[in-house]
Chains A and B, each alone.
Chain A
Amino acid sequence: MAGLSIENARKSFGETQVLRGVSIDVADGEFAVIVGPSGCGKSTLLRAVAGLEELTEGRIAIGGRDVTDLPPSARGIAMVFQSYALYPHLTVYENMAFALRIAQADKGAIDSAVRGAAAILNIEGLLERKPAALSGGQRQRVAIGRAIVRQPQIFLFDEPLSNLDADLRVRMRYEFAALHKTLGTTTLYVTHDQVEAMTLADRIIVLRDGRIEQIGTPRELYERPANIFVAQFLGTPRMNIIPAVLTTDGRARLDDGREINLPTMAAALAPGTRVSVGIRPEHLRIGAAPDALPFTISFVERLGGLATVHLQADGAGERIACQFRDDGSLSEGATIALQLPPDCLHLFDAGGGALPREAYK
């Protein structure tokens, strides 16, 4: 096992810059998840680590060894693709044994490696089948098995769950976490699904337009997002962002004229500053209070135990969403009073960057 270090990775396809100076350090045994919207460069970064894309500039080291110019097979990595990429004419056993056979490993060693990996993944009964005779989840396991057999220093996963149905995705997510616990191999995992990122990662790397927006533990990113993009990318439904102006008494005036309390203000924030106030839907509270604001329910999405409620401020205010336990009492057209607990508020400057919490807490 080994850590991974990416320094100033840049990649261009013609005029298009896909990676614009990405630097990441993944510690030995860490499960790092790269997350970002489509086209942010996350798959390109993963493919560069695998050696399937050549970097325009930058350096990649695995276990302290510079692998930037090494072919994929010499990098000590194994990769699981979104489409599984199993060899259709080979049995599960042959698929898993392929790399070792190419390396002309001893027959006994191949057999024990394949059967060992199959036992870990609970696919011993499938070894003689061809990929076409497997379900999506089974194919996924075989693809992981093929990676395990190589005993890589680093696992690379490229959106491995996106082809599975919702139920299977949840199960496989759990299995990925368990597998990482068992093997302890350094893992770089790419996804556009923030739930996967939040549940699997030791650390999340949020990428946008080929740049890192923030790196941190899931909790850090959820509680202290570096900017509006990260704040809204993680968390479902996404964080509400309400434009406001700071007042002289340390409150924030929303565009419709109503005012809300902010956390204790520091002198660093001058009255009149335009800010964006962020609050996660799950942090809004229903209930009359002196500082509660009235909102009209425009739409209720009932999810069973929970309901996502879309609200419109009376007048020309912002649309916001909040999430409550669904007791059936919320109906469209009703007006409710909402509290915005100051401790749960996030403040962002005009450029979208988070104001340091120390500045207002």
Chain B
Amino acid sequence: MSARHWTVTLLAALVALLTIAPLLWMLSVSFMAPGEAAQFPPPLLPADPSLANYRTLFSTFGIGRFLANSILVSTLATILALIFTIPAGYAFAKLRFTGRDATFRLLVAALVVPGQIGMLPLFLELKAMGLVNSYAGALVPWLAGIFGIFLVRQYCLSIPDEMLEAARIDGASEGQILRRIVLPILAPIIVTLALFVFLGSWNDFMWPLIILADQQLYTLPVALAAMSREHVQDNELMMAGAVVTTLPVLILFLALQRFYLTGLLTGSVKG
């Protein structure tokens, strides 16, 4: 290997280490005894590793319920987002209807508006509809994300029209074309989009905090924040909570990484 190759490898390793170090320390601290992480200099590894913090989280704070809430909300958000954004993105790319391009431009323009600006009007609307303090209200912002529609549309543009026309000549209805031709071709981008939405809704803190008043409905990030207000000194317990919050999505991300990368890269060059 050349010196240049070594340098690049070392730099990459250094960046990877810097990125993963806080996560590793979070994991390490979650196994430490109360107060151990607050010592100076802070220890890298627990002196006497124990699962006590996790036991406290699940038994005393009932984090299992919030974990289940998060899984429910994120899964529903993902499924609903896919149900709405895929047909929308496909229609914007491949179906001819009046006002198609104008509507799409309007949607893309709305991407530049920060989500937080829409939160108050959205909250008032949902309040009028009686959806405040319900998962239905928590799921609304995920239903048809503009970014998702944009992503699907761009990918659909790479599907040749002739393929869809061939299916029409073969007698397939528009629904059959979407289900039997387009969806299988879109598989990589569907995985990518699903991952984005799942991660986004899993990590979302602000909207569930606003819309969910009942503690029993809290998702993990909201529950963890509420917990940290009461246990601000208890770093080890908080780190265990952070591990419970991070680990499921990390595993999901790593498991789907292969499809995710394919989704991001496919379509970038003419095949």
Contact = CB atoms under 8 A, between A and B. Distances in A.
B166 A81 contact: yes
Interface in A94-145: 98-99, 102-103
A35 B167 CA distance: 26
A106 to B, nearest CB: 16
B162 A83 contact: yes
A188 to B, nearest CB: 14
Contact of A103 (B160, B165, B168, B171): B171
A81 to B, nearest CB: 4
A71 B165 CA distance: 11
A88 interface: yes
Nearest to A132: B271
Contacts of A150: 170
B169 interface: yes
B171 A73 contact: yes
B172 interface: yes
Contacts of A317: none
A86 B181 CA distance: 10
B168 A102 contact: no
A331 B109 CA distance: 67
B103 interface: no
A89 interface: yes
Given A88-B185, A102-B172, A81 B162 contact: yes
Contacts of A360: none
Interface string B165-193: 11111111000100011001100000000
B169 A72 contact: yes
A98 B167 contact: yes
Interface residues of B, number: 16
Nearest to A78: B169
A124 B242 CA distance: 58
Given A85-B160, A89-B185, A102 B170 contact: yes
Contacts of B252: none
B250 interface: no
A50 interface: yes
A72 B167 CA distance: 10
A356 to B, nearest CB: 43
A77 interface: yes
B171 A85 contact: no
B170 A85 contact: no
Interface string A140-168: 00000010001000000000000000000
Contacts of A77: 169
B169 A50 contact: yes
Contacts of B163: 85-87
A182 to B, nearest CB: 22
Contacts of B180: 98
Interface string B135-169: 00000000000000000000000001011011111
Contacts of A79: 165-166, 169
Contacts of B165: 50, 52, 72, 79, 81, 85
Interface of B: 160, 162-163, 165-172, 176, 180-181, 184-185
Given A85-B163, A86-B163, 6 more contacts: A52-B168, A83-B160, A85-B160, A87-B163, A87-B167, A99-B171
20 contacts: A50-B165, A50-B169, A72-B169, A73-B170, A73-B171, A78-B169, A79-B166, A81-B162, A81-B165, A82-B162, A85-B162, A86-B163, A86-B166, A87-B181, A98-B172, A98-B180, A99-B170, A103-B171, A146-B170, A150-B170
